[in-house]
Amino acid sequence: MRFDIFTLFPGIFAGAFDESILRRARETGRIEIFLHDIRAYTHDKHHVTDETGYGGGGGMIMKPEPIFEAVESVLGTDPATRPPVVLLTPQGRILTTQIAREFSQLPRLALICGRYEGIDERVRALVTDEISIGDYVLTGGEIPAMVVVDAVSRFVPGVVGDPGAPHRDSHATGLLEHPHYTRPPEFRGMAVPEILLSGHHAKIERWRRNESLRRTLERRPDLLARAVLTEEDRQALRELGWQGRDL
């Protein structure tokens, strides 16, 4: 899968894509990441990419011309043949596991990183989707772009060592993930639950599912309303004291 990232600050991405799983995924060709400096598509001596906004108010606005030229130069001028173009903005829909999974099915995805007070509204003519990583404001779209690439890449076959891991993680099934333990079996008086040492795989899986339900109930009960639950799950939740209407 190929990612094209349009940004004023390509240097911000140094390190994020050059370590660990994403580095290996790039080296093996499972993902490709291309950074496109929007400043390179200006034509004035000072490479101006922002101006004060019409109507007054504080902050600078990213100009439309270099963004259009950058996107069209890299992706083509015909919207029908361009890959999806995502604008990273606090006004977008919140990134979820389902969205990341859907994006991972694409051969190519483009990301536009906003900066300053915002972008000229006309840039949205290039955009097919808008994504936010949360209800807060950052200094720019670069960190959200890293989050999108990381979240999406985990669903690309071969990127994660255990191919089933992304489908078991928190939110993948609508629930938070169960607790994890490793060696030593006891640390500072805290022991690994006996069930995990039993070797009884069916009981271990049920314990993990119940702990996932418990953790979700305690930390994110709102998720239970849309989680896919079995009757055994519902019974476990009732025993935990959940009185949700969906049960």
**3-class secondary-structure state, position 36:** strand
Residues of each domain in the chain carrying CATH 1.10.1270.20: 170-239
Residues of each domain in the chain carrying CATH 3.40.1280.10: 2-153
Tokens describing residue 188? 């500072």
pLDDT of residue 231: 95
Contacts (Cβ under 8 Å, ≥6 apart) of 85: 71, 75, 110, 111, 112, 126, 127, 128, 129
pLDDT of residue 163: 73
pLDDT of residue 57: 86
Q: 141 and 88 in contact (C-beta within 8 Å)?
A: yes
Assess whether 50 carries a catalytic annotation: no
Tokens describing residue 221? 């009960």
Catalytic choice (150, 169, 215, 234): 169
**What residues form DSSP beta bridges with 3?**
33, 109
pLDDT of residue 243: 81
Catalytic choice (65, 69, 72, 117): 117
Rounded to two decimals, the pTM is: 0.89
Assess whether 150 carries a catalytic annotation: no
Catalytic choice (4, 154, 211, 214): 154
Nearest to 38 by CA among 1, 12, 2: 12
* CA dist., res. 112 & res. 6, Å (int): 5
Q: 110 and 71 in contact (C-beta within 8 Å)?
A: yes
Assess whether 219 carries a catalytic annotation: no
Assess whether 218 carries a catalytic annotation: no
Catalytic choice (72, 90, 101, 177): 90
Architecture of domain 170-239: Orthogonal Bundle (1.10)
Q: 71 and 126 in contact (C-beta within 8 Å)?
A: yes
Architecture of domain 2-153: 3-Layer(aba) Sandwich (3.40)
Question: Which residue ranges in the chain fall short of pLDDT 70?
Answer: 164-172, 245-247
Instruction: Give the DSSP letter of residue 54.
Output: T
* CA dist., res. 89 & res. 119, Å (int): 10
